[in-house]
Amino acid sequence: MRSSQLRKTVNRNRNRIRNKRKTRRNKRTKNARGGKIIKLLTSDGKQEYEHDDVTKDIFKVYQLKNGNKLLIFDGKMSEKGNGHGKLYRYASDGKMISMYDGFITGKKKQGRGRYETYDLNDMLVSTYDGTWEDDKKNGEGVYHKIGKNTYDGQWVNDKKHGKGVESGPLWDGTEKIGTIRTEGDWVNDTVVSGKRTITKNGKITSVYFGGLNGVMVRHGRGKYTDYENASETVCAEWDNDKMIKLLQPHEVPSGSTTQIIPLIKPPPTARRIIQKSPLSS
């Protein structure tokens, strides 16, 4: 009798100690993670694990609260937040805001990946396929705004910076009258020089090479050819698309009109990240 009571007492004390240790461990994990981690679930949702009980890489669905939004990671992730998979972001009403498919380091987009954004009607708004560093577009990639422009070129800290090509529809009010394509130099998200080609009804109607004011408008010295008017070529200086001075051909730069000066400091590995994309395999 006494032996049985003694065993029960020992077991109760042992369980209390274990519970205290687990509580302290859970608090440490919660504090270390900012109190954001909810749980890790298996893909079929049948089992649940507290994060501090997971000690190795596992295939799971990873949920955490971020303000009034919800992030769900479906893939392979280590305890340090490194891995590869899909990261979904949802609004508080349950509608998906964005989806990232690619590599992650420290729970940030890093390496090669595809990023999609959605509106409140679950319609695709934009896509980006390219390289990332520290959760920002860095290196080379293609950004497409649905129904609008596409930019294919270099990026630094989420901004178009370096060599690139942007193309999209040309509008006259609400009427689409053709396409416009600019191949040139970008600084801090702004195009400063390059070749601008306008096409209407499948035919090139004009080509301009020279300075631009950031919105594909002629600005500075350049050469303009109008194929709709007897292929007339004009060398001139422009101010926000207004010609202010005629120039001789030798006064117009024949190459790139702008020396790119980094207005924003690129990260250490802004060079192209050599990491195979899971999307291209």
pLDDT confidence bin for 39, thresholds 50/70/90? very low
Neighbours of 161 (CB within 10 A): 25
pLDDT confidence bin for 251, thresholds 50/70/90? confident
Tokens of 175: 């009427």
> How far, in Å, CA of 85 to CA of 170, rounded?
37
pLDDT tens for 172-195 read 888 898 999 999 999 999 999 999
What residues does each domain of the chain span?
A: 23-117, 164-272
pLDDT tens for 107-117 read 789 999 999 99
Q: What is the mean pLDDT of residues 25-39?
A: 38
Q: What is the mean pLDDT of residues 209-237?
A: 85
Q: Which residues contact 187 (CB under 8 A, 6 or more apart)?
A: 161, 258, 260, 261, 263
Q: What is the mean pLDDT of residues 79-106?
A: 86
Tokens of 59: 């295939």
Tokens of 49: 């694990």
Q: What is the mean pLDDT of residues 253-272?
A: 42
Q: What is the pLDDT of residue 250?
A: 85
> How far, in Å, CA of 165 to CA of 180, rounded?
11
> How far, in Å, CA of 154 to CA of 187, rounded?
10
Q: Comparing 12 with 25, which gets the higher pLDDT?
A: 12
Whole-number average pLDDT of the chain: 74
Question: Would you say residue 145 has pLDDT above 90?
Answer: yes
Out of 2-11, 28-37, 126-135, 164-173, pick the least confident: 28-37
Residue 252 phi, psi dihedral angles, 5° rounding: -105, 125
Q: Comparing 122 with 261, which gets the higher pLDDT?
A: 122
Q: Comparing 79 with 203, which gets the higher pLDDT?
A: 203
pLDDT tens for 48-92 read 444 443 333 334 445 555 555 677 878 887 777 788 888 888 887
Q: What percent of the chain has pLDDT over 90?
A: 35
> How far, in Å, CA of 60 to CA of 86, rounded?
11
Q: What is the pTM of this model?
A: 0.69
Q: What is the pLDDT of residue 16?
A: 61
Q: What is the pLDDT of residue 198?
A: 93
End-to-end Cα distance, the chain? 69
Q: What is the sign, positive or negative, of the torsion defined by CA atoms of 60, 61, 65, 69?
A: positive
Cβ-based burial of 173 (10 A; exposed 0-12, middle 13-18, buried ≥19): exposed
The beta strands (E) that lie in 55-133 are given as 58-66, 69-77, 83-90, 96-105, 108-118, 124-133
Q: Residue 208: what residue type?
A: Y
